Amino acid sequence: MNLFPGWFPRSYLGAALAAVYVGVSVSMILSDRRSSGGGNWISLKGMGAFLATFPVSALGEILGMKLDYRRNLDMGFAVGLCALLVYLVGAGVGRLARMIFSSGGPG
């Protein structure tokens, strides 16, 4: 049984990078939730979660749909979408490497 459509790239490199991303981002978000947020006059609470999910968080800020970093549903959506982006970039890099090395080099 095939879970993905025929046009979707299948890549071990993309899957490995996405798995590493999910592990790192979840640990950053959990660490960010445990910390107090900063010093006396500055608060960095939510900065780790913002940086871990930068593409989705930045787009949400631009569109006026700010993510709530305390809600698990918002963070799960952002991490999942960013993991998909990391997977696709990893699949593209893997495909590019196969094209370069199988043809003997660029050009």
Over the stretch 53-74, which tens digit does the pLDDT of each residue have? 999 988 888 998 888 888 889 8
pTM of the model: 0.79
Q: What is the DSSP letter of 44?
A: -
Number of domains, the chain: 1
- Domain assignment of residue 71, yes or no: yes
Structural domain harbouring 74: 13-31+45-102
- Domain assignment of residue 1, yes or no: no
Asked if residue 75 lies in contact with residue 69, where contact means CB atoms within 8 angstroms, the answer is yes
DSSP sequence for 58-100: HHHHHHT----TT-HHHHHHHHHHHHHHHHHHHHHHHHHHHHH
pLDDT, tens digit, 9 for 90 and up, residues 8-22:
778 888 999 999 999
